[in-house]
Amino acid sequence: MTGKMNKAKSMKTRHILPHLAVKGMMNNGAAYYPYLAAGIFSVFTFFVFSSILHNDIISTLPKSVYAWMFLSMGRVLLGIILLPFLFYTNSFLMKRRKKEVGLYNILGLEKKHIGTMLFAESFLTYLVAVGMGIISGVVLTKLLFLLLLRMTGLPVDAKFTFSLSAFGETAIFFFWVYAINFISNLIQVGIARPADLLSGSKKGEKEPKLLWVWAALGAVALGFGYKLAIYSEADSMIFINFFFAIFWVVGGTYLLFTSGSVAFLKLLKKKKKFYYKPSNFITVSGMLYRMKKNAASLVNICIFSTMVMITLVCTLSLYLGLEDMMDFSFPFDFNVYLQEVRHQEGDVEEKARELAGKYGVEIKNYISYERITLAYGKKGENFGIVNGDVGGTSSYLTGNYDVNIFLEEDYNRMEGRNLALGEGEAAVFSSGKDYGYDRIVFFGKEMKVKEEPESLRIAPKSENNVHAGQFYLVVKDETAREGLVKDWATKNCVADVKGLMDGRYRMVRLDVAGEEMAREAFGEEFWSWCVDELGCVRADNNISTRSDQKSMYGGLLFIGILFSIVFLMCLLLIMYYKQIAEGYEDQGAFEIMQKVGMSDREIRGTIRRQILLVFFVPVLGAVLHTCAGLVMVGKLFEVLGFFDMVLLKMCAAGVILVFAGFYGASYVATARTYYGIVSRK
């Protein structure tokens, strides 16, 4: 009989548990609904990436490989971001639920029953998030796919089909995300005593020991991260240094918020003349309490704010500067390298104009010149063997600089000038920083620099150009050029000087104006003719290359936009949960301050000052991080061929101002929830 009763009781309990789970979610709607919304948006974003990746079109469209590559990398990075973020938000929910769970335990629910209830909550949350997220994805993915095609310059009439793999991968990934959260909740409940559960929602983060030691380490780590960001050179190590800088800045920020802030407030507390003034006493005590409990959350706000601003700055700068980048990297639509055979140049021009008529395009900016390129080491005004010494001194020539030598005749025809060089004179142009010397010395032989042109049609110039190992030397005639070549050959142990001279190129460069499809068709046929029939040394179809680059950077822009939205979502949810946490924690403090005689106005003013400080200190830190990171972002952009630092700084200033306004508006909106909780009796 007793067994039947226990069995009936157990069955009744199992039926009640799902209802308790739903009721618990609804009763905690202020915390649960944003968590569900974050889950739905996370699933939606992940599903968008997966759907586009698994679409057959993305693997068959021309030049879509870059979009596919960046989407693949973006999905991995998205998973790395979403997993800890959803774990963090789940831990906040569990902290709010511990008192309720402890009460259930005291009233007779066993730990296994509570575990079943938590499973029901996690499973329902998973179903709602995945179901709503995928439905949203099905509705909006095609629109985002068209946006990707538009940004990457791919054909926008491509049809979009969904893949079952995208549905499966999304469901499986988030199954593990919610499973990890459920297991974490189960462990917390399983190892805790009922009394611990009842007080769990009031338990803050422990104050770290050795405050000043950790604070000093935080300052050192942050300083080292800033040093890497500001002083790293734009070389092959720049990308590695970028990730190291992020690591040190994040670590330093965490230590300064968790230890440095508490150490500073304790120092203020020891200054009795300052501390025991009524307004200072309440503010410092309140801030000390808040920083002890919430420092790690403030670190998250600071880091996510930085990520939002840096991502938006990069995205906006690339979008606005993309055409200038393309123009700098590819100043002409076509480069044709001809061996020194004069009749070939006429054939090139004739064929170009023939195909222009066929495809309805126009040939513009047609130029030709003869050049020979020699590699030198350089120190100051001295050019010689790479890593050789300067005239027997202890100074060494470093780097590997290309010196492109061409004749005064070609220069005047290209530039429409009448430069007249004398014996032993030259004109020097650098594609990077100005050469800046009045003479140039090759293997100890000096030439006078008569002129340093400000511009050159065949070579765009930027002082920020990290690929600045290019010099253009204009000499009077063939005799002067041959003398330079002979000296170079002798010093570099090249016996066949005639072969070296015969190896010089006749370069033909031209632009093509017209509709994009016609230009591309012209480019393909003209390139094939140059390579297959003309037998040129090399032909560069920059129409096609620009299209590839646009596809690559368009993919980056698409990823940047989506990630900016993801980071903003994470930031808003953290801010919202922080306001809820502050509200519940300040309920008791609000009542105590009323009982000791403070008016509602004084109490609200005191709490408002503390909350403002707590929420705007992370933004100040984020702005500092962004300003320091901007230096390294500029150097990374230089490697990619983006040299407009004025545009980058203007974008950064605009993003910081807009973000500050957005953050302030978000704070005001979420603060209403806080004041509603605090004022609740």
Give the bridge partners for 373, in sequence order: 404
As to burial, measured by CB atoms within 10 angstroms (0-12 exposed, 13-18 middle, 19+ buried), residue 187 is exposed
pLDDT value for 291: 62
Strands 334-339 and 362-379: unpaired
Integer angstrom CA distances of residue 69 from 61, 317, 467 = 14, 21, 25
- Across the range 434-439, mean pLDDT stands at 89
Q: Give CB contacts under 8 A, 24+ apart, made by 26-33.
A: 27/100, 28/93, 28/96, 28/97, 28/100, 30/580, 30/673, 31/92, 31/93, 31/96, 31/577, 31/580, 32/93
- Amino acid letter for position 359: Y
Question: Confidence class of residue 395 from pLDDT cuts 50, 70 and 90?
Answer: very low
Distance between CA atoms of residues 292 and 261, nearest Å: 9
Question: Confidence class of residue 8 from pLDDT cuts 50, 70 and 90?
Answer: very low
Integer angstrom CA distances of residue 473 from 42, 374, 421, 470, 588 = 57, 11, 12, 10, 79
Least confident of 214-218, 313-317, 670-674: 670-674
Exposure on the CB side of residue 94, measured as CA atoms within 13 A: 22
Give the global pTM: 0.74
Between 583 and 432, whose confidence is greater?
A: 432
pLDDT digits (tens, 9 = 90+) for 469-525: 689 999 998 889 888 888 888 888 877 777 667 667 788 899 999 998 899 899 899
Strands 362-379 and 505-513: antiparallel
pLDDT digits (tens, 9 = 90+) for 42-79: 888 888 888 877 776 666 555 566 567 767 777 887 78
Question: Confidence class of residue 275 from pLDDT cuts 50, 70 and 90?
Answer: low
Question: Confidence class of residue 308 from pLDDT cuts 50, 70 and 90?
Answer: confident
Question: Confidence class of residue 393 from pLDDT cuts 50, 70 and 90?
Answer: very low
How much is the mean pLDDT over the chain?
Answer: 78
pLDDT value for 426: 93
Between 155 and 628, whose confidence is greater?
A: 628
pLDDT digits (tens, 9 = 90+) for 440-484: 998 888 999 999 998 888 888 877 776 666 899 999 988 898 888
DSSP 8-state code for residue 381: T
Give the bridge partners for 36, in sequence order: none
Packing angle of the helix pair 542-595, 278-329 (nearest 10 deg): 170
614-652 as b/e: b if 16+ CB within 10 A: bbebbbebbbbbbbbbbbbbbbbbbeebbbbbebbeebb
As to burial, measured by CB atoms within 10 angstroms (0-12 exposed, 13-18 middle, 19+ buried), residue 184 is middle
Question: Confidence class of residue 429 from pLDDT cuts 50, 70 and 90?
Answer: very high
Find out whether 189 and 101 touch, Cβ atoms under 8 Å: yes
- Across the range 96-113, mean pLDDT stands at 68
Q: Give Cβ neighbours of residue 530 (< 8 Å, ≥ 6 apart).
A: 336, 348, 536, 539
pLDDT value for 250: 86
Find out whether 451 and 439 touch, Cβ atoms under 8 Å: no
Q: Please, what is the Cα angle at 535 between 531 and 538, to 5 degrees?
A: 55
